[in-house]
Amino acid sequence: MSRRDYPGTTLSQAFENSNKKVVIFLTEGKKREPTPEKVAVVEEFTKKVQSSKSAVVTGYSGLTVAEVTDLRAKLFHAKVEYHVVKNNLARIALNKANVTVLDDLLVGPTAIALAMEDAVAPARILSKFAKEHEKLSLKGGFMDGKLITVQDIKAMANLPSREVLLAKMLGSMQSPITGFVRVLAGPASKLVYALNAIAQAKGKTA
């Protein structure tokens, strides 16, 4: 019995009855080169991730086409892009963008919302949509390359809109322009937390 007895296999076994030894034949497998289409998807998504302010990973299994279309429209108006990319390609792209904290979340049907302007927008829109559509699940996300949990996303969703927060921030600073520029120069997460703190302070004094 030889490898010829198992044509087309990558692993075959030939049993020699005379001495009861097992001979394992391994065939050399060639790695498949990624298709130009897959390379293009990875490159494009990597650029999107690098340009984003934050991201939220969702599970969308069970949503209808109409519901997904409705969600995309809501996100689009807030400058949030909703990407459905195969998990292995998304993982490669995220890693190329130095984002590895989402690897464990890329399981099952997955879509990733990328905030291109307002870092809080995906959390706010997706949290509200998930309350109205139980088929949409929040998995987690990232901001400034750091993992944010589902609890973090829900907390961010309760923040006022970016415009309202910025107005409160400007009104609370002794030197509005200087302070505003200084905060904007920092990471998006610091801006979010700073705005949240100001909003809470305003609420206490109101």
Instruction: For residue 113, give the nearest of 73, 152, 151 by alpha carbon.
Output: 73
pTM: predicted TM-score of the whole model, two decimal places: 0.66
State the Cα angle at 55 between 49 and 58, rounded to 5°: 120
Residue 122 has a pLDDT of 95
Q: Each residue of 1-48: pLDDT tens digit? A: 444 544 544 433 443 444 444 444 444 455 678 898 999 999 999 999
Phi, psi of 93 (to 5 degrees): -65, -45
Which has more pLDDT, 194 or 146?
Answer: 146
Are 96 and 166 in contact by the 8 Å Cβ rule? The answer is: no
Q: Each residue of 164-178: pLDDT tens digit? A: 666 666 665 555 555
Residue 167 has a pLDDT of 67
Cα gap 86→57, rounded to integer Å: 13
β-strands 21-26, 80-83 pairing? unpaired
- Amino acid occupying residue 17: N
Q: What is the mean pLDDT of residues 118-141?
A: 95
Residue 53 has a pLDDT of 93
Q: Each residue of 58-82: pLDDT tens digit? A: 999 999 999 999 999 999 999 999 9
Cα gap 59→57, rounded to integer Å: 7
